[in-house]
Amino acid sequence: MLLTDQLEEKVKIHSHNTMRYAVQLAKDAGLDEKEIYQVQVAANLHDIGKLAIPEEILMKPGKLTEEERKIIMGHTAYGDEMLKDIFSVEIRRMVRYHHENEDGSGYHHLLGDQIIYGAKIIHICDVYDALASDRPYRRAWPDEEVLQYIREQSGHMFDPELTNIFLKMKMKDE
């Protein structure tokens, strides 16, 4: 599927931002150079599976139906499949599991330690950038509201230790 120029630009910006935050978070969390590189690659490609999703769903201005939501959720598996002959299993697992929540309520229902650490890093950075950016269905949230949401989701969506490191990282940015 080919993306329109407008959607392609939005995807590029989101992937770049997610990657930039994820690399810094990986460094601040003490990952080694190889792990940081894997996070960098996976974060840059985390939404590649959206190429398999119809653009009218990706750009829909209103609320998604349950069927459309299931289609969107497939992007993580599509991404893993697209990368299977190119990248390591670690990078592919980060792409596949970047929507897993700490409490098991994510796309694949993995719980806490079952989630690859790099995917946890990408998840928090992905959510941060998504909420801080305009979407077809809503305006960007103010930064203080995004950070408050991330703080509130510690232990539910996000790894508590990574949440603290991320919030400290964002405080340094100000």
**DSSP, residue by residue, 132-156:** TS-BTTBPPPPHHHHHHHHHHTBTT
When the pLDDT of each residue in the chain is averaged and rounded to a whole number, the result is 93
137: pLDDT strictly greater than 90: no
What is the Cα–Cα distance from 25 to 101, expressed in whole angstroms?
18
pTM: 0.93
What is the Cα–Cα distance from 8 to 83, expressed in whole angstroms?
19
Domain 5-173 matching CATH 1.10.3210.10: the answer reads yes
Residue 1 confidence (pLDDT): 47
Q: How confident is the model at residue 174 (pLDDT cuts 50, 70, 90)?
A: low
59 phi, psi to nearest 5 deg: -105, 10
